[in-house]
Structure 1
Amino acid sequence: MTEPYLSAVLNEAERVAKQHGQVARSTDDPAHEYLRYGVLRLLEGETDEMVADVPDIDGVTVGYGEDKAMFDSWSSSEDWWETVPPQESCTRFRVFFPDDHQTVPRDIVDVMAALGAWRVWTGSAAACGSYDHRERREVHYLWPEDHPVEEVLHERLSGPAEAVAPDGGRTGDVRDRLVVDENAQSQDDLEPRTRRAVGEAMDVSLLSKGGRYEVQSASGNRYEVDVIDKSCTCPDWEQRSPEGGCKHLRRVDHEIKQGRVPRPDGRLPAPSN
């Protein structure tokens, strides 16, 4: 599902580098800045690059900054860093969206997954500078500097051919170079009940270290999943405790293995070097 989004992110970042190169003048890592700005333009609908069959989301606004610097400015008033502490050399994206969406809109999820960013917080929006977002919701993603997708962009801009990724694979698909759980499976290989859980619209985020996650379904219901105790607060688990777990347990397990949410100990999945 992320393939068209990965292409869109890279295409827009390449366009930014060629048409808005000034955004990276003050940084030692221009590829990182081109990609950040490309994601902003893509999600805010400012680009000509359209992903097929995915409707635009009206009212999406994107903010980003260095995570440690944001912590220094906001730590006294916000609880964003209680689950995952501030990260050095890491960008925090704040993506705002209308509160009539019960879960994080799917194209936001897929764009950020294509970038290789990890969701760390979701909740009601707070005021941000001169913009008042308090009637909206926001989702936060962390994205480390020197991520493999930066190298992919650099190669597109500079043009070397046949570069070999650290894992021995070709650089054409950044997803082959992300570190995920060794037991991660493609969706086609999943057990049918797990495949259905993966295909449903759910919003997964880490609640606290120790393996507690929150899952919000498309209906707006929220359930707490404990991957250590292998339990869930949904009626299916509490009343029937199906073998292999309810769909929420299965979905959280899949998201962890795919590197889309922080690990149970609160650590972020690390990209390969």
Structure 2
Amino acid sequence: MSDRYLTAVLTEAEHVAKNYDQVAQSTESPTHEYLQYAVLRLLEGQSEAVAERFPQVDGVTVGYGRDKSMFDSWGSDVEWWETVSPREECTRFRLFYPDDRTMIPRVIIDVMAALGAWRVWDGNAAVCGSYDHCERREVHYLWPDDHPVEELLQERLQHADGAVAPDGGQTGDIRDRMVVAEQATQQDALEPRTRRAVDEPMNVSLLAKGGRYEVASASGNRYDVDIIGKSCTCPDWQQRTPEGGCKHMRRVDYEIKQGRVPRPDGRLPTELDVRS
């Protein structure tokens, strides 16, 4: 593995931590989230911290989510887990690229190797129901929690000006606490599902562009939310379809509006977007 790609991943992840810390404000593993989002930015050509000479491939799209959650949603419909069984402790990356390429783009291989992920599946995207990418191919990688690369990033962040706090925000940053305090007097007036959506501990992360998110609930269960298609894999939505959405759909909407997770198009809101 070339040090060049490891340096690129760490540099972009450090940039994410300093400038887009909202991607990790609802997780207990901020370095994991920073690195995931850094890979997305590098491979989709959004990097602002890495030199322009970093190789790019047009038409690459990156999605990621918990492997077990994906299995719970699609396990009976796709062949992804025939070789490697679902891993509770892993993130699964889905990387799409143009089908006119006979081989997986080298930059994908090098970046994922630098991250410490291993390839577990590749094939035609349409075969597995990825109709938005029907003329593309996709390759999957698994990346375990608590990988040593996270320690390398943490060391860099600790030595940087303005250390990153465990909750993913800047040390001393009380923006989230202010939001909660401002809304505290309104909690009693909220509809019960909305109140639970705001109050209960949940981790929200982008699963794929197009509005698909993963929500890890306080119960330990994980659900897929399609914020555009207005659906959730939780029992409440599947059995009752409550008006206004289940608590997981409402939490995703809340996190997007607070600027804590990427928007459905995969991009983070600007400070102006959050305030408006």
TM-score under structure 1 normalisation?
Answer: 0.55
Q: Secondary structure at the match of 1:132?
A: helix
User: Which residue is 1:36 aligned to?
Assistant: 36
Deviation at 1:131, TM superposition (A): 6.5
| Aligned AA (2:32) | H
By how many angstroms is 1:89 displaced? 1.4
Question: Cα distance 1:33–1:131, how it changes in 2: closer, same or farther (>3 A)?
Answer: farther
Q: Secondary structure at the match of 1:94?
A: strand
Contact 1:99 / 1:136 at 8 angstroms: preserved in 2?
A: yes
Contact 2:125 2:133 in 1 (8 A): yes
Once the two structures are superposed, what CA deviation does each residue of 1:144-203 show, in whole Å capped at 9, x if it has no partner? 00000001100100129xxxxxxxxxxxxxxxxxxxxxxxxxxxxxxxxxxxxxxxxxxx
Q: What corresponds to 2:47 in structure 1?
A: 47
Q: Which residue identity is paired with 1:57?
A: V
Q: Identity over aligned residues, as a percent?
A: 67
Per-residue deviation at 1:56?
1.4
What residue identity is the alignment partner of 2:58?
Answer: D
Is it true that 1:26 corresponds to 2:44 in the alignment? no
Whole-Å Cα distance in 2 between the matches of residues 52 and 3 of structure 1? 17
1:127 to 1:155, Cα distance in 2 relative to 1, 3 A: farther
1:54 CA drift (Å): 5.1
Q: Distance in 2 between matches of 1:5 and 1:41?
A: 13
Name the structure where helix makes up a greater proportion of residues: 2
Per-residue deviation, 1:134 = 1.5
Alpha-carbon contact 1:99-1:135 (below 8 Å) kept = yes
SS at match of 1:5: helix
Report the Cα distance in structure 2 between the residues aligned to 1:104 and 1:52, rounded to whole angstroms.
22
Q: Do the aligned residues in 1 keep the contact of 2:125 with 2:131 (CA within 8 Å)?
A: no
- Measured after TM superposition, the shift of residue 45 of structure 1 is 0.2
C-alpha distance in structure 2 between counterparts of 1:139 and 1:51, whole Å: 26
Whichever residue aligns with residue 65 of structure 2, its letter is: G
> How has the CA–CA distance of structure 1 residues 50 and 156 changed in structure 2, closer, same or farther, with 3 Å as cutoff?
closer
1:147 match: 147
Match for residue 84 of structure 2? 84
- Cα contact 1:4–1:51 (8 A) shared by 2: no
Cα deviation for residue 48 of structure 1 reads 2.6
Count of aligned residue pairs for this structure pair? 160
Contact 1:5 1:51 in 2 (8 A): no
Q: 1:84 to 1:128 in 2, by over 3 A?
A: closer
* 2:270 equivalent in structure 1: none
TM-score normalised per structure 2: 0.55
1:217 paired residue number: none
1:120 maps to what in 2? Answer: 120
Cα distance in 2, alignment partners of residues 4 and 43 from structure 1 = 15
Q: Equivalent residue for 2:14?
A: 14
Residue 50 of structure 1: how far off its partner (Å) = 4.2
Greater relative contact order, per chain length (Cα 8 Å cut-off, separation 6+): 2
2:96 aligns to what SS in structure 1? strand
Q: What are the equivalent positions in structure 2 for 1:97-112 lying under 5 Å apart? A: 97-112=97-112
Quick one: distance in 2 between partners of 1:63 and 1:80? 15
- SS of match in other structure, 2:13: helix
Give the aligned partner of residue 74 of structure 2.
74
2:152 partner letter: V
Rounded to whole Å, the distance in 1 between the matches of 2:47 and 2:69 is 28
